[in-house]
Structure 1
């Protein structure tokens, strides 16, 4: 057996075995890791909403899209790089992989500093631009400045986690999330309930947990020996590698940001309806961030699966993996939609007090009744997008992101004046349906088959 084969015994070699089995065996720990990752926001939201009230919850929620935009620029860069890593790994080109990672780390550190400065300096202007009410502004600015100013932990976790997953290890990122989520819960309770630090306590707890998760992943990478030997990676700047990283990373990062910018504009429309609607929107976003993770995890596993198999030039296996995954996801999403619809009032009561926030819960229940049954649309869109991304056809992600953002803005702006908050609720599934068009058409054009790096 080759050294490559020996190393992958503890990982998932996605070029062998039944496609659906290897995709789901890889996706399961990825799903658990994503759930624990989202648990940061859920715990923050639940404790803030219950301990500090709906206004504090609305203030924290108003920062969500800005934080996401800053984080996703860096996470999108890491996700784009994972395409290159998975294809190099599948082709066993380890020397080029180490050189590439040295350049990537240099770019990531520089980008993190820039993003942090922008987040701290522009926190108040950006929240005012989103029409955050004055009584919520100070708390929102405090939360945003802490989480954006210390986003390096989040960036390092996403980068290290992306490298591990691209080489077939989805278990270590899961372990990192378990440890850091438990840390986040303890610190939340201590900072908010014990030290009475308010929303600043929630922000500091999240940041500390993110640095812990980054540390776990980096330690595992450092322990890896041959053939990868991450410990031998050195910070450097290679122009060819930098160009390759930006070519694959920027479209993914910009695509993520385009969707988030659309969400920021929608958040501005939500804010115009007042704190009741803001609290409902925030609670639903937190619930959705958990329930959508099945779709996210399987589709991300498809990207890594596609990358490794494109490295081996096995396109038939890629197509089979997509077909099998889509069938399974459609069944899963239907069950999930029914479960969310049936338990929507109970789910919302985790974040909002039924005795004092009944109006917000009622609005959130309407939103969840729409979101749950849109998950099948999300499954189709994300599955096709991630196969294209794994193959190296990353520009499609950017175009699809722009199209989805435009659709979300158009639907929210056109429907809200006539349907009220229902116009906002309907904008999300309608934009997802619009976002399906480009990746599906591109996939069946077969142009993506020519985009492999190797």
Structure 2
């Protein structure tokens, strides 16, 4: 079967050619901009909630957002696995294999997202009790969380499609539709929270409903755009059969995606434990932690964007057999990450008063508590970013178990262990110093694995035989022209 060639097709970028630094930067900037926009949207929503609904509502959203991160982790790993498969196939110039991998991930994760959303609606109260959510914030958190669960399938499919497009070398299209989603959310939030014109005031449920509406609208627009522009990963006709994963595709998705998803679950489970510990310190500390989380989210954005860009670029180069570029990709990625995250951390510390005031108004006691956290935690995200770049390199060749073990050791061994050991001596400061303890541990372990070099010998994709392709595509007829959210 002749493999269609991607490069030169609308929407794709060849990451195997040209200077590494400028190519990586131009690919990473739209991803970073998308992440910042998403975080900015969350922060503005938090400003609306905190300023107009109070500290209890802000504490409620902080608890609900941790739960949502956990739920997203259930399917996010499969998206990362499909992204790497897409990128390696694109590096070889085989768009049919890229579509096969992407379609399998979309089809499987669509069903999984529906199940997770239904289960989340049912068990939301139990999840919030597990967090030890303060009683005064519980009812607000429950309303917020249940409305957000309604939007989960649309949000997850949007994320999956955007990740697949980036694997194919297109980081511009995801940015366009992130802008659309954020713009809709920003407009709907004050309207639904406060009630404008004939629309009744919905309070905290209005904030969640605005996010849900923005997710559904942007997903529909992204699907329509994908087919209207005939982007490389769209599925037509007999290709729609790729939405039913083969046994081999499921083996790869589970074998690689499950450990990647578990990485996210480990991170969110650690976050659940941390916010549970924070909640024990009282409502003021919980509200301060919620505001601090908003700023720390921005510090994570360069790490995640550069790590994703490095992973996609490295995967394409591995698929193309360009191992001569791999070490330079890692070095350039770490350099960019240090520069961007370091600069952002310094700026946030320098302007902490007005930044924290955005979320907390003139509540001096809570602002002081948040500043106390900031000076102890913020700089640790520089080390976290370097770890994400190294993880991205390992992930590009399908090495996913070692990063999972590193996260387990650093987040539960180092971070929680530090807290338990030093809380009797440092009090609440043991919570804040546990962040750098975990970040430095994970960076050290990731560097050891990367420089040992064994990850380079791994194999992610087995070649797809010509006859297998023919049989899968032509086995049954499929009506053409139907729009399917397959990217």
Could you say which residue in structure 1 is the equivalent of 2:70? 69
1:56 aligns with 2:57: yes
- Kept in 2, the 8 Å contact 1:164–1:221? The answer is no
Aligned partners of 2:409, 2:149: CA distance in 1, in Å? Answer: 27
| 1-structure distance, mates of 2:443, 2:122 | 37
1:25 aligns with 2:31: no
CA RMSD of aligned residues (A): 1.8
State the match for 2:343 in structure 1: 335
Match of 1:212 among 185, 193, 217: 217
CA 1:60–1:223: 2 relative to 1, 3 Å: same
Q: Are 2:397 and 1:395 aligned? A: no
Is the contact made by 1:157 and 1:215 (CA closer than 8 Å) also made in structure 2?
no
Match of 2:246 in 1: 238
CA–CA distance in 2 between the matches of 1:197 and 1:242?
A: 42
Instruction: Pick closer, same or farther for the CA change 1:97–1:332 going to 2, 3 Å.
Output: closer
Per the alignment, in what secondary structure is the counterpart of residue 5 of structure 1? Answer: coil
**Deviation >4 Å, runs of 4+:** 226-229
Aligned mates of 1:246, 1:80 — CA distance in 2: 9
Name structure 2 gaps, 5 residues minimum: 462-487
Q: Deviations over 1:348-375 (max 9, x none)?
A: 1111111xx2111111112122233223
Aligned-residue offset at 1:24:
0.7
Higher mean C-alpha displacement, 24-33 vs 395-404: 395-404
SS in 1 for 2:385: helix
Partner of residue 352, structure 1? 360
* TM-score, structure 1 as length reference: 0.95
1:439 maps to 446
User: Bigger shift: 329-338 or 377-386?
Assistant: 329-338
> Which blocks of at least 5 consecutive residues in structure 1 are unaligned?
none
Task: Name the counterpart of 2:373.
Answer: 367
In our comparison, the structure showing a higher alpha carbon Rg is: 2
TM-score in terms of structure 2 length: 0.88
CA–CA distance in 2 between the matches of 1:412 and 1:344?
25
SS of 1:273's equivalent?
coil
SS at match of 1:402: helix
Given the superposition, is the C-alpha separation of residues 188 and 326 from structure 1 closer, same or farther in structure 2, using an over 3 Å criterion?
same
Question: Which shows bigger deviation, 281-290 or 92-101?
Answer: 92-101
How far off its partner does 1:392 sit?
1.4
1:317 to 297, 320, 325: 325
Aligned partner of 1:453 in structure 2 is: 460
| Aligned-residue offset at 1:153 | 1.3
Show the counterpart of 2:45: 44
Distance 1:439 1:359, change over 3 A: same
1:229-260 residue CA offsets vs partner (Å, 9 max, x unmatched)? 43344231311111111112111111011010
Using the TM superposition, give the Cα deviation of residue 3 of structure 1 relative to its aligned residue in structure 2, in angstroms: 4.9
Look up the SS of the partner of 1:230 in the other structure.
coil
- Aligned residues between the structures: 450
Go from structure 1 to structure 2 and tell me whether the alpha carbon gap of 1:207 and 1:397 turns closer, same or farther (over 3 Å shift): farther
